[in-house]
Structure 1
Amino acid sequence: LNGIPNSKIKSDPERAREMFSYAASYFGNADAQYDLARLYLRGAGSSRDDFRYGARWLGLAAQKGQHQAQALLGQMLFNGDQLPRQAARGLMWLTLARDSAAPEEAWIKESYNKAIAKASDNDRAMALQMLEHWVQGRKD
């Protein structure tokens, strides 16, 4: 995606999109789904369709347990960033992401802390119920 510094391999976002799309579609790779979602979401001059594709891929990766996708989807849902605001569902995804984040992924913990501080008691209770349901579904 970024190319290789000090080499002839330069950044090629279109080729990256093709490669991520292939791995995301044919192999169902959650990391590729997350990276593809990010390309769609941050593309220069992104259309509404690009955003929908990005949100779709983000959701698929999050469902597979890709914690960065869970965090980004959680942020978007909690804040209502180009998606209808669903604070409880966003908080659920942020909680899952926080529990899986590596120590160097401070942005995930910061996102969770901001959301939990802003969340209403009702949103927290609903998020907990959704979280229990999601975890139970993964056990079955």
Structure 2
Amino acid sequence: MENEEYMKNVLKLHKLRVTDCRSNVLGFFMNNKTALSQGDLEGQFPQYDRVTLYRTLNSFLDSGILHKIPNSQGVATYGLCHETCSPDHHKHNHIHFKCNECGQIQCLDDKIVPVASVPEGYRIEAVNMIVDGVCANCA
């Protein structure tokens, strides 16, 4: 019950209406330690159609609950944001680790992305770093 109240508070804090779908998806992200794709959600929640899950993910992105993690397969994955994110600015300066064995992507929050520099006249809006290897579970 505590977890349910916490999820409701997170949604309200981010100015989102509390719905069963949003509560279920947020809970699923909170209980997983890896990044998730829309396909992962579709497999977990067959009661919600693709469009509903897509809109839920986008509302979470727009409100600062999730951040998008690009990958080389072209399938978007998403990770939970921390208190440092806001609707207008995601502050993710950590490395993402993709396991070549199980395919899971994890946020390595304590591993900072090296500072990037660009020529004059350019403006960095986001820096993403994915490290490929074998995770501790598969090693």
Same fold (TM over 0.5): no
Q: Give TM-score scaled by structure 1 length.
A: 0.30
Q: Give TM-score scaled by structure 2 length.
A: 0.30
Q: Which has the higher strand share?
A: 2
Higher relative contact order (CA 8 A, sep 6+): 2
